[in-house]
Every structure is written in structure tokens, then in C-alpha cells.
Amino acid sequence: MTWFRERLYDHWNQSFLVVRELYRSRDGLQDIVLFETPGFGRVLTLDGVVQVTTGDEFIYHEMLAHVPIYAHGKVRSACVVGGGDGGMLREILKHAGIARAVLVEIDGAVVEFCRQYLPDVSAGAFDDPRTEIVIADGIDYMRTTAERFDLIVVDSTDPIGPGGVLFTEAFYRDCARCLNPGGIVVNQNGVPFLQGEEVTDTWRRRRPHFADVGFYLAAVPTYVGGFMALGWASASTTARETGLDAIRARVAAAPVATRYYTPDIHRASFALPRYIHDLIPA
Ligand code: SAM
């Protein structure tokens, strides 16, 4: 029996029973490994850290796409930074109101590889006429682009390796500049029980550039250690507070197929347990 042991924390880890290794590449920007498991389907790792599993990816992708889209109410343009597996694009493009979606991914090999070996994750999103794929470092793209977006989703690796720059104040400042009025930035912000400093650091680095900074939560089995924090930043001080009736009405008017997201989950995800709330500077 072969087990894959994730190397993310130096004091704790999760392991997957590997039924079959499907792909391994050590030649590119990041080490890419894909294997089949009994419980989570196909698992993609980059530099030894789990990025996506076909079993539970829907939770993560739905919560980073649909919460800001329904809270905003009129998203037409979106940018995904990272997200080379295409799952975030897939969820965003479910919304008929989206006219344009730009994917800014640093590693072209991830996109090509996921097209071939994880086609159900992107489900045609890379070839959607509304999609533009840019192979570039997200920090360079955000510093130099003249584009403006209603929504920016930072679907990055953890703040180690190439994803580190996507957790800096300079990047958040440039995201703020690239938003249309009322626009929203969301990101994967780690598992607070194990990576609590990511909540504190993100709040401090965003506060100077956005009127509203906060967090919401999702429980994703393979991002182990309890709730995962999803970061929220906007010039709008009202979008995060959009009430249940308004969210229900927007979902009823423009529904999309989901397996995790509901209007009740949307509202409830902003309720923070005290140990997470206490990570936010007073
Ligand atoms: N859901 C995943 C997680 O939290 O573990 C993230 C998955 S997604 C595949 C992460 C992507 O971010 C990878 O494809 C990686 O190549 C990309 N990435 C990392 N650093 C980046 C950067 N600076 N600019 C753009 N993309 C980046």
C-alpha cells in the first residue's frame, strides 16, 4: 500500500491512500503530482501540498464564487488570480450575468495539465468565449493592468513559494485599484486554527486600502484543521451585510446549480467563532 503524506505543517499532517499515481512532473515551476484515492477521487498536489480533490473541490469553489457574486448583485467582470485547475472559473461562469472572466495563473503547466487530467474540474470553462487566460505572476498583472473588475478571486496556493506575493500589502493595494466601484476581493485565507497569523496579517495589510475588510468560513475536508477562512475586502460597506431576504431574491432571480452554497449558508458563513474573531486586530 502506498500513502501520500502532505507536507504543509511541520507538526501535523494528513495522508491519503494512493490507489494509482496518474502523473508526476518535477521539471517546471512547481512539482506536480496527481493520484487517485478511494475517498476523495483524484488529488492534485503542487510542491507536496494538496490543491484540489475532485471529491470536495465544489465546497471551496462555490463559496469563493457565489458568496461575493450574490452579495454584489451585478457582477459582470471577474478576475481569478491562480486557480489553474479551472474550478473557480467554472463556478463564476455559471452566472449568465458574467460577460468577462480573466484567469491570471503563474504556471501554464498547471492549466495544460488540468485540462488533460482533471477535465471535469474546469468543465469547459477554459474554452468559454467569456474567458481570457493570462500566464503571468498575479502581483505583476495587478500592478500593471488597466482592466477593472467587479470581482477579484484570489485562488492561490498557501503563502509559501510563488503564492507568497499574493498575501502582501502591495498586492492588496493593487487589487483595490483594479476594482470597479462596489467591487469585491475574496481569497483563500488559510485554516485559522493552524494558520491564525494569516487572518491577522491579511486584516492589517488590507485595512489601509479597503473600507470593509472581513472573513467568512467554509468547511473543506482536505483543508484540514477546522474551518477555512475566506478573506473579504471591498470599498462597499454594505455588500457583506446583504440580508437573507435580498440574497434569497437574487438567487431566485438568477439561480445556479450548487451542492454546498445556499442563501442560508451564505449568511451563516459570516458568523465567526470567537477564537477566529479574536485573531482580527481590535
Ligand atoms: N484551492 C487551492 C488551495 O487553497 O490549496 C488552490 C488551488 S489553485 C490550483 C492555486 C494556483 O495558484 C496554482 O495553480 C498556482 O500555480 C497558482 N499561483 C501560485 N502563485 C501564483 C502567483 N503569484 N500568481 C498567479 N498564480 C499563482
Strands 20-25 vs 32-37: parallel, antiparallel or unpaired: antiparallel
Angle of helix 57-72 versus helix 244-253 axis, rounded to 10: 100
Number of neighbours of residue 152 by Cβ within 10 angstroms: 26
Q: Where in the chain is the domain with CATH 2.30.140.10?
A: 2-53
Q: What is the pLDDT of residue 28?
A: 85
Q: Find out whether the beta carbon of 156 lies less than 6 Å from any atom of ligand 1.
A: yes
Q: Please list the active-site residues.
A: 155
Q: What's the mean pLDDT in 66-89?
A: 98
Q: What is the CATH number of domain 2-53?
A: 2.30.140.10
Encode pLDDT of 156-194 as tens digits.
Answer: 988 988 999 999 999 999 999 999 999 999 999 999 999
Span from the CA of 223 to the centroid of ligand 1 (angstroms): 15
pTM over 0.85: yes
Distance CA 88, CA 126 (A): 11
Of all protein residues, whose CA lies closest to atom 27 belonging to ligand 1? 82
Phi-psi region of 41 (alpha: psi -120 to 50; beta: other; left: phi over 0): left
Of all protein residues, whose CA lies closest to atom 8 belonging to ligand 1? 83
Span from the CA of 79 to the centroid of ligand 1 (angstroms): 13
User: What CATH superfamily is the domain 57-277?
Assistant: Vaccinia Virus protein VP39 (3.40.50.150)
Q: What is the pLDDT of residue 161?
A: 86
Of all protein residues, whose CA lies closest to atom 3 belonging to ligand 1? 51
Q: Where in the chain is the domain with CATH 3.40.50.150?
A: 57-277
Q: What is the pLDDT of residue 176?
A: 98
Assign 220 a pLDDT band (cuts: 50, 70, 90).
very high
Strand stretches in 83-219, DSSP E: 100-105, 131-135, 149-155, 179-188, 212-218
Q: Which ligand 1 atom is nearest residue 163's CA?
A: 20
SS3 of residue 131 by DSSP: strand
Q: How would you list the strands of the sheet with 212-218, edge to edge?
A: 131-135, 100-105, 77-82, 149-155, 179-188, 228-234, 212-218
Encode pLDDT of 89-139 as tens digits.
Answer: 999 999 999 999 999 999 999 999 999 999 999 999 999 999 999 999 999
